[in-house]
């Protein structure tokens, strides 16, 4: 019998019990080189085995089949449905026996949908793959970053947010954490969730590192811009727990134009800030940060309007436009309406006489929804406290840590 036919027969016959699958795994590992050398003959096998029953065998065949690079769209069109069907139907117990191969196959799916210029086709399968590979929602897999990248390319930001709400405590590789937080920060920027974006980018900038890398530098650039949007200021002093390498090197890499922009922002002069962004538009554009830099300018208008709420009870739209250097009362109205909608100020606009009345925060912190929100926050903080205590105890007993 042909060795490939014999292997297919073994896959079909040894995929029922745990003992059979363990035996099959040994056979597949021994046949790995042979499968790769016969990759051109593997295509018909996919119709002979079921990914939901013969998951481990299907994975090894698929891994060998995708080992050769696919460079044309026709091959990619044939390959994407096969990988998608496998990810959707495969057995969690079986694929976790060969996690490296599963990760490789999923990354090949990402490559193929990008070759087809259709990243949206990879979003749902990659999300399924992440959940199947995870041992718990606290586990950060190498596929998290791939999933978030596809969400970014497909502009499917809300789908990406679904995975960013998980609290991560276990990381396989440092690079996975860097990319997860960087891409996650970009998705949150796309959804204008600037505080969450700031938290994720902060994690990249302050993560332990032994050498500078491009991910950290790009994250720091966005970190500066998002800090200005969210808080209206930026401090070049990094926390003490930040890597000494980052403390020394990040500022020189981002001095021009990012840190200079923070200095310009601190003057509070909109005209100067707009002129600075326009004169450095090429640099921001080359970093894909021009849109974010323009949002920084817009945030200064909002910041100046917020200052007015601390001084006045009522003010005309014309006066607001003049005070914050907007072109017209209509433009001032657009800004005020957007800020009311986003919950950044509390006010009412009298359309008849063009007056804005600033109000106090209406939240009384006594509704059922607010009580539930506070209660869930307390429980989350308690769970985090337990995690920190357990981690502290674990580190205190670690021989490598103690010897260091």
Give whole-number Cα distances, 384 to 123, 168, 201, 361, 390, in Å: 30, 11, 20, 30, 10
Report the 10 Å Cβ neighbour count for 391: 11
Has residue 164 been placed in a domain?
A: no
The pLDDT of residue 215 is 94
Tokens 């979003």 sit on residue: 123
Given 81, 111, 133, the domain boundary residue is 133
Same domain, 261 and 196: yes
Has residue 152 been placed in a domain?
A: no
The pLDDT of residue 1 is 62
Same domain, 237 and 295: yes
Does residue 376 have a cis bond before it (omega within 30 degrees)?
Answer: no
Given 291, 309, 327, the domain boundary residue is 309
Same domain, 233 and 335: no
Q: Any idea what the CATH number is for the domain that residue 342 is in?
A: 1.10.10.10
DSSP state of 46: G
Q: Which of 360, 361, 356, 358 is nearest to 309 (CA)?
A: 358
Number of structural domains in the chain:
4
Has residue 166 been placed in a domain?
A: no
Has residue 284 been placed in a domain?
A: yes
Same domain, 355 and 297: no
Has residue 226 been placed in a domain?
A: yes
Q: Any idea what the CATH number is for the domain that residue 41 is in?
A: 1.25.40
Over the stretch 326-344, which tens digit does the pLDDT of each residue have?
A: 889 999 999 999 999 988 8
Burial (0-12, 13-18, 19+ Cβ within 10 Å), 356: buried
Q: Which of 324, 243, 245, 286 is nearest to 258 (CA)?
A: 286
Domain around 353: 312-362
Over the stretch 229-240, which tens digit does the pLDDT of each residue have?
A: 999 999 888 899
The pLDDT of residue 366 is 81
End-to-end CA distance of the chain: 59
Same domain, 180 and 296: yes
Same domain, 106 and 202: no
Q: How far, in Å, CA of 100 to CA of 30, rounded?
A: 16
Same domain, 47 and 75: yes
Has residue 153 been placed in a domain?
A: no
Which helix or strand (DSSP H or E) is residue 283 part of?
A: helix 281-286
- List the Cα angle 370/374/376 in 5-degree steps: 115
Q: Which of 329, 333, 325 is nearest to 272 (CA)?
A: 325
| Alpha helices by DSSP H, 314-396 | 317-323, 329-341, 368-396
- Residues 83, 62: contact at Cβ < 8 Å? yes
Has residue 397 been placed in a domain?
A: yes
Per DSSP, the three-state class of 181 is helix
User: DSSP states of 87-123 as a string?
Assistant: HHH--HHHHTTSHHHHHHHHHHHHHHHHHTT-THHHH
Same domain, 389 and 281: no
CA 299 centroid distance within chain: 23
**pTM score above 0.85:** yes
Same domain, 242 and 292: yes
Per DSSP, the three-state class of 15 is coil
| 39 token code pair | 């990759």
Same domain, 216 and 247: yes
pLDDT, averaged in runs of 10, over the chain (404 residues): 88 91 95 90 92 95 86 88 96 96 96 95 97 92 96 95 90 91 96 95 93 93 96 90 91 91 91 94 95 94 89 92 90 92 90 91 85 93 93 90 86
Same domain, 61 and 12: yes
Same domain, 192 and 305: yes
User: DSSP states of 207-256 as a string?
Assistant: S--SS--HHHHHHHHHHHHHHHHHHS---SPPPTTS-HHHHHHHHHHHII
Has residue 154 been placed in a domain?
A: no
Q: Which of 62, 139, 55, 60 is nearest to 91 (CA)?
A: 55
């Amino acid at each position: 019998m042909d060795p490939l036919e014999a292997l297919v027969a073994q896959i079909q016959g040894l995929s029922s019990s745990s003992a059979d699958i363990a035996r099959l795994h040994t056979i597949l590992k021994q046949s790995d080189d042979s499968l790769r050398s016969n990759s051109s003959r593997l295509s018909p096998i996919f119709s002979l085995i079921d990914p939901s029953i013969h998951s481990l065998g299907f994975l090894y065949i698929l891994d060998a089949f995708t080992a050769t690079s696919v460079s044309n769209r026709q091959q990619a069109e044939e390959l994407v449905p096969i990988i998608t069907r496998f990810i959707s139907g495969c057995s969690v117990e079986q694929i976790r026996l060969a996690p490296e191969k599963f990760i490789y196959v999923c990354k090949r799916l990402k490559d193929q949908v990008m070759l087809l210029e259709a990243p949206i086709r990879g979003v749902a399968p990659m999300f399924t793959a992440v959940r199947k590979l995870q041992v718990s929602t606290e586990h950060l897999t190498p596929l998290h970053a791939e999933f978030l990248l596809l969400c970014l390319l497909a502009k499917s930001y809300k789908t990406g947010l679904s995975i960013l709400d998980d609290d991560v405590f276990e990381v396989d590789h440092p690079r996975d954490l860097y990319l997860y937080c960087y891409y996650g920060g970009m998705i949150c920027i796309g959804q204008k969730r600037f505080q969450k974006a700031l938290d994720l980018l902060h994690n990249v900038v302050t993560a332990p590192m032994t050498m500078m890398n491009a991910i950290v530098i790009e994250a720091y650039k966005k970190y500066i811009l998002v800090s200005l949007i969210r808080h209206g200021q930026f401090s070049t002093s990094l926390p003490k727990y930040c890597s000494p390498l980052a403390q020394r090197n990040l500022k020189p890499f981002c001095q021009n134009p990012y840190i200079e922009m923070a200095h310009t922002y601190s003057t509070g002069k909109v005209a100067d800030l707009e002129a600075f962004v326009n004169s450095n538009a090429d640099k921001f554009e080359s970093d894909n940060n021009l849109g974010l830099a323009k949002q920084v300018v817009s945030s200064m208008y909002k910041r100046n309007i917020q200052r007015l709420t601390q001084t006045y009870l009522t003010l005309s739209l014309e006066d607001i436009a003049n005070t914050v250097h907007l072109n017209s009362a209509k433009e001032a109205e657009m800004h005020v309406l957007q800020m009311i909608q986003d919950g950044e100020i509390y006010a009412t606009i009298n359309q008849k006489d063009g007056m804005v009345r600033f109000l106090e925060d209406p939240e009384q912190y006594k509704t059922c929804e607010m009580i539930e929100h506070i209660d869930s926050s307390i429980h989350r903080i308690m769970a985090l406290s337990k995690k920190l205590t357990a981690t502290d105890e674990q580190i205190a007993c670690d021989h490598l840590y103690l010897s260091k």
